[in-house]
Amino acid sequence: MSLNEFVNLGMARYKNETALKTLGLRIKAYRIKAQLEILDLAVMTGFSYNAISDIENGSETSISYFIEVCFALGIHPKEMMDIEFEVKSKNSLTPDRMEKSRLTQRIRALIQSGYFKDPRSTSDVTKNLTEIYKLDFESKNVSVILARFATTNTLIATKKGIRNLYSAK
């Protein structure tokens, strides 16, 4: 199985068929109201007849295709999307993932506050966060987040022995 086939299988598992069918029917209704054939939309967008037909039938499509079809129909995509949907995430965040996100935000706040004007170790940051937020979390999570900030050039990481020290850019 090729990578593209694998990705397509993965995407197929997660598509929202109800939303795609609803949008496809709306696009078809607008096309008919505008007295256009599928082939007309194909010419106007540069997409194949089958691509337009697939969109109208609720098949998976890219956001770029959807936008271009809306433009060809003379309608803003947000207007086309004005449909009642149940707005609910497919999955909830686990408490562990939620805490890691909060930890990232807390470290970002330390960066913005000037805390890293002096070089800080992971242990320094962990102690500081523990004192401020009265929480118990693993320093390895802090270490991963600090390393991520260093790779995005938000912090500078320097080695001191076996430890990394992080300072403001």
pLDDT computed for residue 60 by the predictor? 87
d(CA 168, CA 117): 5
Average pLDDT on 111-133 reads 93
Q: From the CB of residue 147, how many other CB atoms can be counted at a distance below 10 Å?
A: 15
Number of domains in the chain: 2
Whether residue 8 sits in one domain with residue 67: yes
pLDDT computed for residue 9 by the predictor? 47
Average pLDDT on 132-149 reads 87
* Distinct helix (H) and strand (E) counts, the chain: 9, 3
Inform me whether the pLDDT recorded for 155 exceeds 80. Answer: yes
Structural domain boundaries, residue 51: 3-80
Residue 13: band (very low, low, confident or very high) from pLDDT cuts 50, 70, 90: low
CATH for 119: 1.10.10.10
